[in-house]
Amino acid sequence: MLTLLSFAALAFLPSANALVRKENVGRLPALGWNSWNAFGCDVDSTKIMTAANEMVKLGLKDLGYEYVNIDDCWSVKDTRNLTTKRIIPDTSKFPGGISGVADQVHDLGLKIGIYSSAGETTCAGHPASLGYEQVDAEAFAEWGIDYLKYDNCGVPSNWTDQYTACVPDGSGNFPNGTCPDLSNPAPAGYDWAQSKTFTRYTMMRDALLAQDRTILYSLCDWGQADVNTWGNETGNSWRMSGDIQANWPHVAEIANENSFRMNYVGFWGHPDPDMLEVGNGNLTSEENRAHFALWAVMKSPLIIGTALDNITDANLAVLKNQYLIDFHQDPVVGRSAHPYKWGYNPDWTFDPVHPAEYWSGPSSTLEGTLVLMLNSEDSTSTRIASWNEIPELKGHDAYQVIDAWSGEDLGCVKEAYSTSLASHDVAVLVVKGAC
């Protein structure tokens, strides 16, 4: 029995090698801002500098938010520089070039990110880096870039994978709904590091590592080619799903998918359920804070995607929640929170509408345990955290508890904490010592 168990554990243990970088870059999940969810293709240096200045002014920088990332559409569309082969920054949007805006961002004590794709063109049809990895990595380094988001558009037919992936969940099963398009499944035991997708992303990793500059490498292959099994050795984070959209059904769907990937979270490597939509679309105030809290406890990169000069006080307070940031940036505990119970569904149910509702994780920064409870239903409902169900809390009857949203000390709570939650809201508890 023991042998069988250890074999199963080994078979699904992620690669131990990781992209370990200087000055701890990429060791903890990234904190920052990106232009795409707020502005799409309509990006320029004014918008980038507005975001950077607001990050300082609003106190986000003081909390550790550091990357200001330019997404797609920063370059001249149809050509590279015929002499240097470099991508040409669009000077109608960035009059000082990318290096100009990089200097200004650095002057604020922040870091700057750029975007490209592991294909011939980006998703908006601009020149991308497949075949030009060295040229582009060199240009990015010279311009002062600190972060690269590397998308998966514009892949020519001779670079597509031989097989489509069906990705197992955290316990090695294939939950219902994860294999919608298995037209050409890989044989059992196929090593996805043999795939062309792996090669496309590895070529850019090697080009970045060859530069005399530390550039955080954020893979965006939409979870394809079972990236969870090779993401840790290739990048600092890797997208595990398709793009997020600013509405609850999308947020819940991605939270459900990522909940099965928590064994892959650790120092230097983080599955990425995509950038934040807090402040965007039709998310209610409950949905905004549930989205942020779930992303924070999953130790996802937290990349803000809203116009910061326009953000409401309520949404800003969510992004600045000290308890969640402390949990997320724990320098001692690398693992994320894990679901300890699904709640609405039986445990391990794959359900895009009702993700796991009960999560817990240890925290050195909070000197205790973080507990999250979600109401995934469409109406108000009660959720109960029972200490004897929570792995970190079994063994004592009563604990000191703080409500992470209000900061209120709830005192010594015996056996369980029960709370009524509005639709799509979360309770976040900081559970301290036994009492």
Structure tokens given for 412: 């010594």
* 378/408 with CB nearer ligand NAG: 378
In terms of Cα–Cα distance, which of 204, 205, 194 is closest to 229?
194
In angstroms, what is the minimal distance from the CB of 82 to ligand NAG? 7
In angstroms, what is the minimal distance from the CB of 392 to ligand NAG? 19
* 115/264 with CB nearer ligand NAG: 264
Residue 366 and residue 346: Cα distance in Å, rounded?
Answer: 30
Give the distance from CA 177 to its chain's centroid.
22
Structure tokens given for 431: 């559970």
Residues 6+ apart with CB under 8 A from 91: 97
Catalytic site residues? Answer: 151, 243
Given the structure tokens 């394809």, which residue do they identify? 224
In angstroms, what is the minimal distance from the CB of 307 to ligand NAG? 4
Q: Give the residue nearest to ligand NAG (CB).
A: 18
In terms of Cα–Cα distance, which of 147, 90, 155 is closest to 115?
147
Structure tokens given for 335: 């693992």
Contact residues: ligand NAG, CB under 6 A: 14, 16-18, 20, 81, 83-84, 88, 158-159, 176, 196, 232, 247-249, 264, 266-269, 282, 284, 307, 310, 349
* 50/104 with CB nearer ligand NAG: 50
* 49/398 with CB nearer ligand NAG: 49
Residue 32 and residue 28: Cα distance in Å, rounded?
Answer: 13
In terms of Cα–Cα distance, which of 65, 89, 29, 17 is closest to 216?
29
In angstroms, what is the minimal distance from the CB of 402 to ligand NAG? 29
H or E, element range at 164: none
In angstroms, what is the minimal distance from the CB of 349 to ligand NAG? 5
In angstroms, what is the minimal distance from the CB of 389 to ligand NAG? 20
Contact 191, 212 (CB under 8 A): no
Q: What is the DSSP string of 50-93?
A: HHHHHHHHTTTGGGT--EEE--S--EEEEEE-TTT-PEEE-TTT
In angstroms, what is the minimal distance from the CB of 159 to ligand NAG? 5
Q: Cα-flanking dihedrals φ and ψ of residue 143, to 5°?
A: -75, -15
Interior/surface letters 142-180, b for 16+ CB within 10 angstroms, e for the rest: ebbbbbbbbbbbbbeeebebebbbebbbbeeeebeebee
* 28/390 with CB nearer ligand NAG: 28
Pairing of strands 426-434, 338-341: unpaired
* 248/399 with CB nearer ligand NAG: 248
* 203/429 with CB nearer ligand NAG: 203
Helix/strand/coil for 140: helix
* 156/407 with CB nearer ligand NAG: 156
In angstroms, what is the minimal distance from the CB of 423 to ligand NAG? 9
Q: What is the DSSP string of 215-254?
A: -EEEE-STTGGGGGGTHHHH-SEEE-SS---SSHHHHHHH
